[in-house]
Amino acid sequence: MGIWMKAKEAAEEVRTEVAKAAAEYRAEGIVPKVAVLLVEGDPASAYYAESKRKIAAKLGIEFELLALPPESSERQLIDVVTAWSRDERVHGIMLELPLPRHISAAAVATAIDPLKDVDGVTPANKLAVMTGEPGLYPATPQSCIRLLRAYGYSPEGKHVALVGRGQTVGMPLFHMLQREQATVTVCHSRTADLKRHVQGADIVIAAVGRAGLLTKEMFRGETVVIDAGINEMADGGIAGDVAPDAIETAAAVSPVPGGVGTLTTALLFENAIKAIRLQRQAVKKGAEAK
């Protein structure tokens, strides 16, 4: 029987640090502010945006949520994030996904100032993740690695089976794990024998979006499993990609809810604090260059 890798404590530590940094900025006359753009129509996105508002209030971070109607144009969204990018009072910008089909998320993301891009969705920050340059890295992949470390598991020298190669979680993690000195096997929908790859891994990270895809038969006694999947179930609850009874065969499993997602939200605000620092450095550099 393995252990559940709950994220509550690690998330609390991050939130404490963020609240402290936010208070220090406020004392200097800078009010940390995050702005979130939501297109109405997806109840889950609206729920996530509202939960971010509650956390921001607890951390001393100002929060603006702009909800646009579903028929809004791509141009309107680009105009909003462009205005926030130019607004000195806004330090972090988030775009709630998914967007309606007629709007390209990539086109809107490109209009966000990379120094305010707390979700790590701009081309500049995606490149930074690939190359290891400083930047704002997406919070969910960071959360997976931080949760491993919180329980004393290091990816260094380990064989990691990464299940899912999506742009939000899988692909950034692929690059980040290699910099953590892991050997990474990337599995996806065309992988012929998922069980074989998962069985051969020391660490398994699931980022697919299919409840119960990974079952207890796939794990050995020493496998450590991070579940980044979020699946909305018919009963209104949420489940991960890993069947809950995997705890019977794996060494450790991160729960859903209460695992990766819990730490992700805290790390988004950590990114917001980092964003302020990066913006101040850029202003200083600009002044020195004159």
Contact between 56 and ligand NAP per CB under 6 A = no
Q: Measuring CA to CA, how many Å separate 235 from each of 100, 239, 282?
A: 25, 11, 48
DSSP SS3 for 102? coil
Contact between 11 and ligand NAP per CB under 6 A = no
CB of 190 to ligand NAP, least distance (A): 5
Q: With CA atoms as reference, report the closest residue to 129 among 70, 72, 176.
A: 176
* H or E segment and range at residue 14: helix 8-27
Contact between 165 and ligand NAP per CB under 6 A = yes
DSSP SS3 for 206? strand
Residue burial 28-49, b: 16+ Cβ < 10 Å; e: rest:
eebebbbbbbbbeebeebbebb
Is 165 annotated to bind a ligand? Reply is yes
Contact between 208 and ligand NAP per CB under 6 A = yes
Residues in the chain: 290
How far is the C-alpha of 273 from the C-alpha of 259, rounded, in Å? 22
Contact between 244 and ligand NAP per CB under 6 A = no
CB of 90 to ligand NAP, least distance (A): 23
Binding window for ligand NAP (CB under 6 A); candidates: 20-28, 103-111, 189-197, 217-225: 189-197
How far is the C-alpha of 171 from the C-alpha of 288, rounded, in Å? 37
Q: Which two tokens stand for residue 2?
A: 């393995």
DSSP SS3 for 132? coil
Q: With CA atoms as reference, report the closest residue to 121 among 155, 162, 166, 68.
A: 166
CB of 192 to ligand NAP, least distance (A): 10
Contact between 172 and ligand NAP per CB under 6 A = no
Contact between 276 and ligand NAP per CB under 6 A = no
Is 166 annotated to bind a ligand? Reply is yes
Do the Cβ atoms of 143 and 267 come closer than 8 Å?
A: yes
Across the chain, which distance is largest between two alpha carbons, in Å?
Answer: 63
Binding window for ligand NAP (CB under 6 A); candidates: 30-38, 98-106, 159-167, 273-281: 159-167
CB of 30 to ligand NAP, least distance (A): 28
DSSP label at residue 242: B
**Among the listed residues 96, 264, 269, 278, the single contact to ligand NAP using CB under 6 A:** 264
Task: Give the nearer residue to ligand NAP in terms of CB position, either 7 or 61.
Answer: 7
Contact between 101 and ligand NAP per CB under 6 A = no
**Among the listed residues 152, 189, 193, 234, the single contact to ligand NAP using CB under 6 A:** 189
Is 277 annotated to bind a ligand? Reply is no
Binding window for ligand NAP (CB under 6 A); candidates: 2-10, 160-168, 242-250, 281-289: 160-168
Contact between 34 and ligand NAP per CB under 6 A = no
Is 164 annotated to bind a ligand? Reply is yes
How far is the C-alpha of 36 from the C-alpha of 77, rounded, in Å? 11
Contact between 211 and ligand NAP per CB under 6 A = no
Residues that bind ligand NAP (CB under 6 A): 140, 163-170, 187-191, 194, 207-210, 213, 228-230, 260-261, 264
Residue ranges of the annotated binding site for NADP(+) are 164-166, 230
